[in-house]
């Protein structure tokens, strides 16, 4: 993973995402998910583009199933946008780079 792309865990989710002082994009994925793997380079690119403004990270739902369960993640890839500890937007499935970027800009307001 790139230096701007974080890795979120069940143990750190509350402090790293819900307690973050800036918006956070979480990419819920799994190693066996082809569309998830295909989306990774796009998410990495946008993490660099928005560095310092939005924290961007991935969360492997197989290794860290508790948070995905609490948030009702039923299919992946799932991109959830958090602001002030709340989900403010989401994208399900393999979204385009432009669509993800538009959502990120919207979250920044």
Catalytic residue among 24, 26, 33, 56: 33
Catalytic residue list contains 52: no
Cα–Cα dist 73/92, whole Å: 9
Structure tokens at 17: 């995402």
Catalytic residue list contains 38: no
What ranges in the chain are assigned the alpha helix state H? Answer: 13, 34-49, 65-70, 97-108
Structure tokens at 41: 């380079």
Structure tokens at 54: 């939005």
Catalytic residue among 5, 36, 39, 43: 36
Active-site annotation, residues: 33, 36
């Amino acid at each position: 993973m790139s230096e701007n792309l974080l890795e979120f865990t069940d143990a750190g989710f509350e402090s790293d995402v819900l307690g973050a002082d800036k918006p956070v994009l979480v990419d819920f994925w799994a190693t066996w998910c082809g569309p998830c793997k295909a989306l990774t380079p796009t998410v990495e690119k946008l993490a660099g583009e928005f560095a310092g403004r939005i924290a961007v990270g991935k969360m492997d739902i197989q290794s860290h199933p508790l948070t995905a369960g609490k948030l009702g993640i039923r299919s992946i890839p799932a991109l959830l946008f958090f602001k002030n500890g709340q989900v403010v937007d989401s994208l399900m499935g393999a979204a385009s780079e432009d669509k993800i970027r538009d959502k990120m800009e919207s979250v920044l307001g």
